[in-house]
Amino acid sequence: MNSPTIGVFPAAGGIGGGTVKHLLPRFPSKKLVFIARSPEKLRELPVDQAVLRRADYDDNESLKVAFEGLNILFLISYASVEHEYRTERHRTAIDHAIRSGVTHIFYGSLGYGGNPEGDQSVAHVMQAHLDTERYLQECTRQHVGFSYTVIREGLYSESYPLYTAFFDPKQPVDEIKIPHDGAGSGIAWVKREELGEGTAELIKRFVQDPDGFPYRNRKVLLSGPRTLTLGETVSILAKLAKHTVRIRQVSVDEFARQPQVSSNFTYHGVDHSALWTTTFEAFRRGEGAFVSPLLGELLGREPEDFETTVSRS
């Protein structure tokens, strides 16, 4: 592929922004298109001649033209824990991208399910990702010349509040009430910006040698180099907070009734707090504990550990 045009959508969030930051030194800016609901947020980066476009997952008209002129797209998932609506939005974006001429999609999936080649998960939040992964595979059969790479992004360190009932080290509580005892299989936490850096490097390698790219029509996992149990994770948070904190295992209903939980898991007027607890069952089954060396290889260094990342955030 001769000097392709590369797009990122949505480009202004955590994963998108980190990827944008690391794409800029790897490609001529005039070959980059950054698409976001609020693209002006990207002007704090040295975007130079990169094209900034406005589009929104919830706005079909904007999606129809969002991907024009692109050859390669990094598609980041719709930001919610919904299932059916999220799947439908992903499919709509993929369809418009292919109609616009995109021939390869890197899709930002999630690191549940254990081995990245797997296609099962008990986590509700993973279901839209699995649907989207299957749809991309279907698109390779429907559209000659189209290919994809699924990037299962390990659970990023900065997202620990989702799994600790929104614990805040600056305002620590004595107990973290979750439907899990903190023991068992761990989580291979990974720094969010390093996920963006690894993704940018994957895209660079694809552009350099698309025919020899080893991850065409495959799933890959970008994870941290080691796992921490939820109990070990909370111990680190307690150390940083300088406060004694313990996990208290509670029922699904008690977890979901906590006001800071329900307020953060409500989308389109529906409270998904109880469904979110399937992530804890996924942890019990080891779905977050799979460690892949790929991110370290892409970075050329060992990924940053959980304590370092959280202490700096």
Token pair listed for 271: 């409270």
What is the Cα–Cα distance from 136 to 146, expressed in whole angstroms?
9
Other CB atoms within a 10 A radius of the CB of residue 59 amount to 12
Question: What are the backbone dihedrals phi and psi of residue 28, each rounded to the nearest 5 degrees, phi first?
Answer: -60, 130
CA distances from 211 to 152, 205, 207 (A): 22, 11, 9
Is 203 within 8 Å of 72 (Cβ atoms)? yes
| Nearest alpha-carbon partner for 157 in 128, 122, 195, 108 | 195
The total of other beta-carbon atoms located within 10 Å of residue 153's CB is 24
pLDDT in tens, 210-267: 999 999 999 999 999 999 999 999 999 999 999 999 999 999 999 999 999 999 999 8
Q: What is the pTM of this model?
A: 0.96
* Domain locations in the chain as residue ranges: 6-154+190-222, 158-186+225-290+304-311
Q: For 158-186+225-290+304-311, which CATH class?
A: alpha beta
**Which of 65, 308, 300 is closest to 200 using CA atoms?**
300
* Percent over 70 (pLDDT), the chain: 100
**222: β partners:** 153
Which CATH fold topology does 6-154+190-222 show?
A: Rossmann fold (3.40.50)
Bridge partner list, 176: 247
pLDDT tens digit at each of 313 positions of the chain: 578 999 999 999 899 999 999 999 999 999 999 999 999 999 888 999 999 999 999 999 999 999 999 999 999 999 999 999 999 999 999 999 999 999 999 999 999 987 888 899 999 999 999 999 999 999 999 999 999 999 999 999 999 999 999 999 999 999 999 999 999 999 999 999 999 999 999 999 999 999 999 999 999 999 999 999 999 999 999 999 999 999 999 999 999 999 999 999 998 888 999 999 999 999 999 999 999 999 999 999 999 999 999 999 8
